[in-house]
């Protein structure tokens, strides 16, 4: 209908005419695209994760400078679908529409196009079909929670699943997850760890059989049962956009004078953390996890240029957490992402003591009292 009315615009010469022709063609293309028959669709839900040993510094094609390990989250996830239909033109370029929260999003589309271009040799279907990606997050976009891990892992799962389906191949779940972890890593390093339940390790680590810089491996089986139901209250100190993207942060490690020491420390911390995760040593676990968080922020403070990513609210909450731990003797510890929000980690069996503490003493330091009550989760799932 709209295409018809533009066709009958009187000005076919000059600027208005060109705009009319452009709109006419774009709308026609849109009309064709939106009515085109979908050939196949796949949809996945995939969670975010919180690193215990941090990945900060990379080389080559998204390879980590040190191994990292994370808890997989439960309530913070992305839901993404990928559908393929016939192309609207014989053009060999990628044809992609990207919708975030049901609205076309051109900024995300550009990022995804470059990701797809980079891996298209391994996924020939990307050039063969018109692609549509729809994505949403369970957590608000402006909550200061990084969405790249959940978003890129959900997309990588869709890609690997779609590829197998189009080739008529069945792929075992563990192979699918390993492959998805590999491609998620190329999209965003930490996303490689989001595809496994409970916990995941990424990066070659001494004494960890099967560990690799190219993909993450599951770590659930090795963990003490107390960690399998661990709680993570995310205390939103600020929802403002991050001051430094992780892309810039990783880059700054190239000239950070403490980089070499840091990479050694990460390996040493991992070597100490693994036995604590296995035995359920909560004190050791907490000490290492807090050191990792503080080190990440210290690295940003001594980069050139330098950044302070904590806010006064972050510091006030850390002081209260330490004081409460001291007086209550309860094992609650914090970690931080590359931002001001606190991830408070504690075992499920002390939830009834920690929740009132959070509500009475920490929530006043959270922006609009915002807290996400998350915990360790079961990993990704197909959306039927």
Binding site for ligand PMV (CB under 6 A): 51, 54-56, 68, 146, 148, 188-190, 246, 296, 337-338
CB of 355 to ligand PMV, least distance (A): 26
Taking the complex as a whole, the smallest distance from the CB of residue 262 to ligand PMV amounts, in Å, to 13
CB 216 → ligand PMV: shortest distance, Å? Answer: 11
Cα gap 378→199, rounded to integer Å: 9
* Three state DSSP letters for 195-230: HCCCEEEECCCCCCCCCCCCCEEECCCCCCHHHHHC
Least distance from ligand PMV to the Cβ atom of residue 54, Å:
4
* Least gap, CB of 149 to ligand PMV (angstroms): 6
CB of 193 to ligand PMV, least distance (A): 7
Distance CA 252, CA 249 (A): 5
Fill in the DSSP letter of residue 360. I
CB atoms within 10 A of CB 156: 31
Contact 11, 349 (CB under 8 A): no
For 135, residues 6+ apart whose C-beta sits below 8 A from its C-beta are 78, 79, 80, 81, 98, 99, 100, 108, 151, 154, 155
Triad 45, 273, 143: Cα angle to 5°: 40
Name the residue nearer to ligand PMV (CB basis): 245 or 328.
245
Instruction: Give the residue among 239, 188, 235, 159 at the shortest CA–CA distance from 70.
Output: 188
Q: How many angstroms separate the CA atoms of 134 and 79, rounded? A: 8
Nearer to ligand PMV, 42 or 72 (CB): 72
User: Least distance in Å: CB of 199 to ligand PMV?
Assistant: 13
State which residue, 131 or 234, has the beta carbon closest to ligand PMV.
234
Nearer Cβ to ligand PMV, position 14 or 305? 305
Q: Identify which of residues 54 and 375 has a Cβ nearer to ligand PMV in the complex.
A: 54
Q: Which is nearer to ligand PMV, 152 or 160 (CB)?
A: 152
Residue closer to ligand PMV, measured from CB, 20 or 309: 309
Q: Check if the beta carbon of residue 91 is closer than 8 Å to that of residue 150.
A: no
Distances (CA, A) of 109 to 123, 132, 173, 348: 18, 10, 29, 40
């Amino acid at each position: 209908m709209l295409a018809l009315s533009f066709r009958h615009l009187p000005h076919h010469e000059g600027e208005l005419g060109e705009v009319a022709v452009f709109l006419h063609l774009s709308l026609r293309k849109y009309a064709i695209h939106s009515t085109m028959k979908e050939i196949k669709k796949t949809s996945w839900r995939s969670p975010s994760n919180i690193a215990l040993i941090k990945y900060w510094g990379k080389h080559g094609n998204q390879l980590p400078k040190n191994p990292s390990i994370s808890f997989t989250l439960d309530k913070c996830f992305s839901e993404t679908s990928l559908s393929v239909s016939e192309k609207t033109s014989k053009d060999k370029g990628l044809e992609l529409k990207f919708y975030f929260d049901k609205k076309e999003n051109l900024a995300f589309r550009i990022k995804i196009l470059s990701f797809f271009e980079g891996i298209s040799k391994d996924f020939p279907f990307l050039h063969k079909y018109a692609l549509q990606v729809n994505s949403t997050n369970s957590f608000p976009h402006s909550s200061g929670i990084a969405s790249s891990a959940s978003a890129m892992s959900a997309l990588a799962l869709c890609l690997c699943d779609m590829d197998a389906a189009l080739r008529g191949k069945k792929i075992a779940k563990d192979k699918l997850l390993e492959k998805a972890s590999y491609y998620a890593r190329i999209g965003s390093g930490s996303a490689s760890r989001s595809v496994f339940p409970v916990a995941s390790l990424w990066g070659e680590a001494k004494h960890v059989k099967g560990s690799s810089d190219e993909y993450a491996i599951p770590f659930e089986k090795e963990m003490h049962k107390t960690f399998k139901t661990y709680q993570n209250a995310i205390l939103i100190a600020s929802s403002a956009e991050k001051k430094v993207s992780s892309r810039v942060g990783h880059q700054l490690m190239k000239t950070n004078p403490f980089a070499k020491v840091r990479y050694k420390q990460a390996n040493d911390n991992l070597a100490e953390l693994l036995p604590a995760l296995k035995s359920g040593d909560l004190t050791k676990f907490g000490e290492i996890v807090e050191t990792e968080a503080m080190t990440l922020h210290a690295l940003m403070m001594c980069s050139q240029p330098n950044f302070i990513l904590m806010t006064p609210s972050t510091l006030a909450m850390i002081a209260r957490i330490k004081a409460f731990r001291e007086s209550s003797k309860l094992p609650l510890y914090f970690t931080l992402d590359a931002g001001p929000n606190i991830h408070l980690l504690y075992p499920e069996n002390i939830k009834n003591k920690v929740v009132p503490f959070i509500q009475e003493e920490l929530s006043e330091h959270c922006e609009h009292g915002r807290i996400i009550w998350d915990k360790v989760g079961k990993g990704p799932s197909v959306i039927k």
